[in-house]
Amino acid sequence: MPLSDEEQRSLDEIEARLAQDDPRLVEQVGRTTLSTHLARRIRLSSLAFGAGFLMMLFAFANALWVAAFGFVVMVISALLVARYTRQLGRDQMRAMQQEGGVSAMFARIAARFRRPSEPPSE
């Protein structure tokens, strides 16, 4: 739903004031997209999974409760990776729909297959 002219003007004023007050924040927010944010979360969750695996592996013989905690960390981080991957996929699908839809994506793929392949150089 588009903003009215008055709402857009108010939003532009707020943006301008924020840029004056804290230009570093505006620059940082401008660089971060949902995809980069989710990719960072996926990396951190993957590291947590690895840490949980190492806890489970090395503590199993000595302290069973530490190994159980490592297993819980692995399960939670695996669920988080799955959740963030799903969100990332939805975000990319939304971007494809805005670019022209899924049919445009299939058209690009078909165009790649229709291109004549280059003969191998000898």
Q: Using N-to-C axis directions, what is the helix angle for 23-31 and 5-21, rounded to 10°?
A: 110
- Look up tokens 């709402």; give the residue: 7
**What pLDDT is attached to residue 23?**
77
Number of domains in the chain: 2
10-residue mean pLDDT series, the chain (122 residues) = 78 82 74 76 94 91 89 95 86 64 64 62 56
Tokens of 71: 């297993």
**What pLDDT is attached to residue 95?**
64
Domain span at residue 13? 1-31
Q: 46 and 94: one domain? A: yes
- As a three-state string, the secondary structure of 48-107 is HHHHHHHHHHHHCCCCHHHHHHHHHHHHHHHHHHHHHHHHHHHHHHHHHHHHCHHHHHHH
Share of the chain above pLDDT 70, in %: 68
Inside any domain, residue 41: yes
**What pLDDT is attached to residue 121?**
57
Inside any domain, residue 104: yes
Q: Which contacts (CB < 8 Å, 24+ apart) does range 60-67 have?
A: none
Q: 76 and 25: one domain? A: no
Q: 72 and 27: one domain? A: no
**What pLDDT is attached to residue 17?**
84
Q: 69 and 46: one domain? A: yes
Inside any domain, residue 49: yes
Tokens of 108: 């690009």
